Amino acid sequence: NAGVMQNPRHLVRRRGQEARLRCSPVKGHSHVYWYRQLPEEGLKFMVYLQKENIIDESGMPKERFSAEFPKEGPSILRIQQVVRGDSAAYFCASSPGQGAGGNTIYFGEGSWLTVV
């Protein structure tokens, strides 16, 4: 987990509010991934970004969810109008190159979202 910083670590939101999760990758890494882990479920891929580009968002719900990785600053996962089903742990990961082949992927400690 060296170097991938996520915040906040824990976040409580009421239904209908917005949640913003931030991720700073390992220094020098330009590839960022977001995964979601629901209770009793495995990690599910959401989105893959490179600086200023969304490469693959096939795992993102079509509505209410968005992600960005600007030229400067952290990657942001934004969830609008949260519902109870959004309660989960959201993990960010980074790698120096594309994919896992030959590149170790580093995960952050996660942001644990609770919707009340």
Partner 1 sequence: SQKIEQNSEALNIQEGKTATLTCNYTNYSPAYLQWYRQDPGRGPVFLLLIRENEKEKRKERLKVTFDTTLKQSLFHITASQPADSATYLCALEDSGYSTLTFGKGTMLLVSP
Note the residues at the interface with partner 1 (CB under 8 A).
Answer: 1, 4, 31, 33, 35, 40-45, 48, 55-56, 59, 91, 98-101, 104-110, 112
CB of 12 to partner 1, least distance (A): 16
Task: Considering the complex, state which of residue 2 and residue 72 has its C-beta at the smaller distance from partner 1.
Answer: 2
Task: Considering the complex, state which of residue 2 and residue 71 has its C-beta at the smaller distance from partner 1.
Answer: 2
- Could you tell me the strand order of the sheet in which 19-24 lies? 5-7, 19-24, 75-79, 65-68
CB of 37 to partner 1, least distance (A): 9
DSSP 3-state assignment of 69? coil
Task: Considering the complex, state which of residue 15 and residue 44 has its C-beta at the smaller distance from partner 1.
Answer: 44
Task: Considering the complex, state which of residue 17 and residue 45 has its C-beta at the smaller distance from partner 1.
Answer: 45
CB neighbour list of residue 45: distance below 8 Å, 6 or more residues apart: 33, 34, 35, 58, 59
**Dmax (CA) of the chain:** 42
